[in-house]
């Protein structure tokens, strides 16, 4: 994934809900931002919009739905988070939960940058329609067989649409005996594994504070894992911080 001028949409999808897709989208955006890869988060889960809520930006005068209904300039809808991340929010209003956003790519053309698009969960028709407007897809799953099976269906749909699948991310890994290990996942998946992200209470704590864990707890295992994934996407080497375990302990 190299930076090229122009509009680029990277979709973050999942086979089912509850795998940490929105949290990953936010923190991937944060990790890329740290690495000087400019990007904008966009909430495409309009039926259950929560990206902006998770970032503490729930009061938005212009949203993704408004871009579709009123043909507004997307620059007017972008919010700036205190951390510097840019977000194009979706409305949480019930009356806007069914707005058709299949034409979103055309509306984003005035902003010639990279968008990280947070998908609705699953492979329903709306998720498939969003894949069609994306350039590349990342699929996030957890190390449970049900989640992995659903995620492989998502990969298959993306490939049928001739979309580039950058890989799968295995989230919320605790390495206990009740979950699949990385070797088992690789043997089951016909997809590149971008990396794994460790389970950590600090993720929930950072979400409560409306700050990406990459910024709030920079030495935590999930933050380092996410930076490793971002560096792999960019094709850059990543040298983790020195004494990260000690620093992570001191952040508790």
Cβ atoms of 232 and 209 within 8 Å: the answer is no
Sequence spans of domains, the chain: 8-234
Q: Is the pLDDT of residue 189 over 60?
A: yes
Structure token pair of residue 98: 């069914």
Q: Look at the block and give the residue holding tokens 């988070």.
A: 81
Cβ atoms of 113 and 10 within 8 Å: the answer is no
pLDDT band, very low/low/confident/very high, at 5 (cuts 50, 70, 90): confident
Distance (Å, whole) CA 56 – CA 209? 8
DSSP H stretches of helix in 71-212: 104-108, 125-133, 145-160, 182-188, 201-208
Cβ atoms of 193 and 167 within 8 Å: the answer is yes
Report the share of the chain in percent with pLDDT over 90: 79
User: What digits encode the pLDDT tens for the residues 44-100?
Assistant: 999 999 999 999 998 899 999 999 999 899 999 999 999 999 999 999 999 999 999
Q: Is the pLDDT of residue 243 over 60?
A: no
Mean pLDDT of 129-154: 95
Question: b/e for 158-183, b at 16 or more Cβ within 10 A?
Answer: beeeebebbbbbbbbbeeeeebbeee
Structure token pair of residue 211: 């700050």
* pLDDT of the residue at 175: 82
* pLDDT of the residue at 22: 97
pLDDT band, very low/low/confident/very high, at 190 (cuts 50, 70, 90): confident
Judged by DSSP in three states, 138 sits in strand
pLDDT band, very low/low/confident/very high, at 8 (cuts 50, 70, 90): very high
Mean pLDDT of 9-23: 95
Mean pLDDT of 102-117: 96
Q: Which CATH architecture has domain 8-234?
A: 3-Layer(aba) Sandwich (3.40)
């Amino acid at each position: 994934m190299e930076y090229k001028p122009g509009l680029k949409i990277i979709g973050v999808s999942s086979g089912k809900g509850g795998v940490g897709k929105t949290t990953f989208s936010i923190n991937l955006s944060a990790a890329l931002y740290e690495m000087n890869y400019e990007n904008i988060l966009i909430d495409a889960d309009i039926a259950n919009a929560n990206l902006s809520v998770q970032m503490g930006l729930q009061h938005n005068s212009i949203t993704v739905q408004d871009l579709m209904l009123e043909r507004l300039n997307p620059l007017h809808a972008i919010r700036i988070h205190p951390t510097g991340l840019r977000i194009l929010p979706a409305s949480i209003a019930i009356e806007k939960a069914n707005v058709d956003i299949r034409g979103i790519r055309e509306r984003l053309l005035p902003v010639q940058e990279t968008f990280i698009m947070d998908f609705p969960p699953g492979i329903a028709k709306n998720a498939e329609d969003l894949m069609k407007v994306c350039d590349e897809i990342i699929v996030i799953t957890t190390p449970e067989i049900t989640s992995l099976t659903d995620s492989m269906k998502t990969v298959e749909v993306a490939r049928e649409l001739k979309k580039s699948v950058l890989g799968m991310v295995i989230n919320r890994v605790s390495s206990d005996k009740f979950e699949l290990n990385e070797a088992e996942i690789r043997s089951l998946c016909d997809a590149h594994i971008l990396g794994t992200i460790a389970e950590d209470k600090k993720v929930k704590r950072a979400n409560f504070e409306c700050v990406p864990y990459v910024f709030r707890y920079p030495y935590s295992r999930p933050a380092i894992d996410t930076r490793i994934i971002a560096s792999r996407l960019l094709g850059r080497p990543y040298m983790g911080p020195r004494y990260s375990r000690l620093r992570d302990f001191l952040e508790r």
